[in-house]
Structure 1
C-alpha cells in the first residue's frame, strides 16, 4: 500500500505521550515525522487525534466469516469485511484470535488452517495490520505436532492455551449441557462427540508433561505464549513455570494479582469495562483496572468496546485520557513486542484515528500512513 503524501494535521487536539496538546502532527512516508512547513496542511479543528488502537485479542471477525450457519466458503471476502469493521472502530493493528479446538466447526483445526491460509493470501491487499493468534485446546494431545506445524507454516507469533472441556460433568459421567446442539451444529453425531470429549478428558493426566515440551518448543521459536481464564494464583504460577507469561482474561482477583505481582502482563476484556462487569460473574475488569492490574484491554467479541472502554475510564475519573488510551494502544503494542507503534511520536508508524471531539465518532483511521477509513466532514477536509 502507498502511504499518503506528506501531510501536516493542524487544529486538532493530539494525544502524545505527554498528554493532549495542539501541536501539529506531521505524516511522512508512513511515519510520524518532525514538523515540516513544506507539508500540505489539513485543518482538523474540532477533532481529536489519538494513537491507532492495537487490539491484542479479538474474535469478532468470526461474524463476517460465517454470517449464516454453514456459509463459510468465501473467507477472503469475510476477512475484507472484518477489516472494514476494524478500521471503522479506529483499530490499526488487530490480532485475530482463531480457535484450534475439539469443538469443531469454526473452532476446528481444519477451519483454522483455512482462515490462516486466507489471511496470508490477503496480506498485500489489507491496510490494517492483521496478525493471528492461535487459541489451542490443551486436551488435544494428538494434535500437538500438527499445531506446531501450523504455527511454523504461518509464522504465528502468539499462542494462547485454553481448556474448555466440561470436566466437572465428565468426571461425574454426566452428559454436558448443550452437547446435542453443539454436535449437530458442526455436523457431528452427538454420541460420537461425547465419546471424543470423554477420551480427551480421560487423558488429562498426560497433559502437564506434554505442555512442558510444547511450550519449550514454541518459546525456542520466539512465539509469545498466554493462558486464558486463569482462576487461581497456583494456575498462574504453573503457566509461568512453562514460560507462559501473558495472562488473558483472569477470572478472579487472586489470579490477576498473582500475575501482576510476578510481572506477567494482564489482558482484560473491554466489553467487561463497558458493561460494568463480567457477563458470566467473573471479576470486574473495571475493578482490576482501578487496582492497577491491567496492562491492556482487548475487544474480545466486540470491536467498538475498545474505544468506548478507554473513554469510559476517562469519563469516570478512574484514569486520565493518556493512561486510559495506553490500555488500547501502547500497552498491547508493548506486550506484542511491536515497538514501532502505540503512540504518536516521531519515527513511529503513522497509526492514528481522528475522533469527533463532540460525538466521539471515529471519522478517520490511518494505518502505516495509509487510509483505512474516512467519513463525513473529515473526509471533506482531507480531500480539499
Structure 2
C-alpha cells in the first residue's frame, strides 16, 4: 500500500458529521480519524469535508479491460486506471461488479477468478479499497461448488443473484441486432449464445436447490448476498426467504416497496438519478428516493455519476446535501455492515473527501489515511503545510 499521510489536522472546513455540517477539525493519523490536537494544520476554509464514497456495484471497469470488443487489455493496468478514476471521484471503497455467468468469456467463471486474483494482487499498491462483487447467474448450477470455493479463496464478501435468461430469449425474438451485439461482446456467434441459453434453461428445476446451497455456504462464510433486477414483489419475497436480503436495482416500484416492507435495503444506480430515469425503462430512482425506498446509490456503469447524483438531488430540491451525500457514503456502508467507514467519527477508518464549495470539485480524497487524489485549490493548501514542515525541520 502507499504510505500513510503525515499526521495532519484539517481545519476551517464544514464537516459532515451525523447528518449535519459543523465547523470542526478532523485529524488523520495512521489511517484513522482523530481529534488532531497538536498536529500540523491544513486550512480548508471554503471546502466541505465529507465521508468517502462507498460504491457497492460498478461495472464501468469493463471499459478499461475491453475498450473495444476485439481489443482486450491486461487486468493489471486496467485495475490501476479504475483505481485512479475512483479516487478522482471521491470513491474510497469500490466494488467491481463481475458476472459469473453461463455466457462465458468476459462474464464467465474463468474471467471472474482471474479478476479476483488480480484485485488481490493489486491491493498491495492500491489507492482505493478495491473489492469484487460477484453477480451470479442463477441457472449456472453446475458451477455452484466452484463459486463457493472461489468466494472463500478470494475472500469475496458480497454476491448478488441474477436471472437474465428469459430477458435474453426476449431479446433474441424482439431485438435481433441487440442479440447479435451481445453475442459479439461475449466472443460468440449468435448460434453459440443461443445454445448456451438453451442449456441454461434446461437447468431450471435445479435452480432452487442451487440457490439454497449457495445461501447456506454464504451464511457460513459471512458473505452478504442479495438479488439484482427484481421485477416484482413475489421475486423479492423468494430471495428474502433464502436470506438474500439486499435488493439491488429493483425494476418496478412494487419490488422496491416489498423489499422495504420486509426490512431489506434497496440500492439504485446513480446514473438513473443523473439522467432522470432508467436507460432500460425501469422505475426512476428519484421516485424511490422521494418515497424513502432507497438506501444507497451505486455507480453502476459510470463512476462519475456518484457525486453528480448527489448534486442532482440537491439542485432539484429532492434532498439536502447531508442526506444526499449519505446515499453514497453512510447508507451503502450500513447495507454491508461496514462499521469502520461511511462516517467521520474518531476511531473510524480515515476515508474522507474534500469538496470545493465554489466549484463542487472533488479536490482531495483520502482513503484509509492515504492521499489518493489531490487537485485544485486544495492542493496548494496541503502543499503549503508540507513546505512549512520541511522548513521547520531545516
Same topology, TM > 0.5: yes
| SS of corresponding position for 1:42 | strand
Tell me the TM-score normalised to structure 1 length: 0.95
Q: What per-residue deviation string (whole Å, max 9, x for no partner) do you get for residues 197-220 of structure 1?
A: 112113212212221222122222
Tell me the TM-score normalised to structure 2 length: 0.93
CA contact (8 A) 1:273 1:286 kept: yes
Change (3 A) 1:79 1:19: same
What is the Cα deviation at residue 117 of structure 1?
1.1
Gaps of 5+ in 2: 385-394
After TM superposition, list the pairs within 5 Å mapping 1:138-157 onto structure 2: 138-157=138-157
| SS of corresponding position for 1:98 | strand
What is the Cα deviation at residue 187 of structure 1?
3.2
What is the Cα deviation at residue 314 of structure 1?
2.3
Change (3 A) 1:357 1:142: same
Is 1:264 the equivalent of 2:259?
Answer: no
CA contact (8 A) 1:167 1:201 kept: no
Q: What is the CA–CA distance in structure 2 between the aligned matches of 1:175 and 1:277, rounded to whole Å?
A: 23
Q: What is the CA–CA distance in structure 2 between the aligned matches of 1:187 and 1:326, rounded to whole Å?
A: 40
Change (3 A) 1:42 1:195: same
After TM superposition, list the pairs within 5 Å mapping 1:224-239 onto structure 2: 224-239=224-239
Is 1:221 the equivalent of 2:194?
Answer: no
After TM superposition, list the pairs within 5 Å mapping 1:1-384 onto structure 2: 1-36=2-37, 38-166=38-166, 169=169, 177=176, 178-384=178-384
| SS of corresponding position for 1:4 | coil
What is the Cα deviation at residue 69 of structure 1?
2.6
C-alpha root-mean-square deviation of aligned residues, in Å? 1.8
CA contact (8 A) 1:231 1:255 kept: yes
CA contact (8 A) 1:95 1:130 kept: yes
What is the Cα deviation at residue 306 of structure 1?
1.0
CA contact (8 A) 1:169 1:176 kept: no
CA contact (8 A) 1:66 1:72 kept: yes
What is the Cα deviation at residue 174 of structure 1?
5.2
Change (3 A) 1:73 1:324: closer
CA contact (8 A) 2:268 2:297 kept: yes
What is the Cα deviation at residue 18 of structure 1?
4.8
Q: What per-residue deviation string (whole Å, max 9, x for no partner) do you get for residues 32-74 of structure 1?
A: 11240x2111111211111110001111111111223343342
| SS of corresponding position for 2:33 | strand
Change (3 A) 1:134 1:192: same
Change (3 A) 1:184 1:25: closer
Deviates more, 1:235-244 or 1:4-13: 4-13
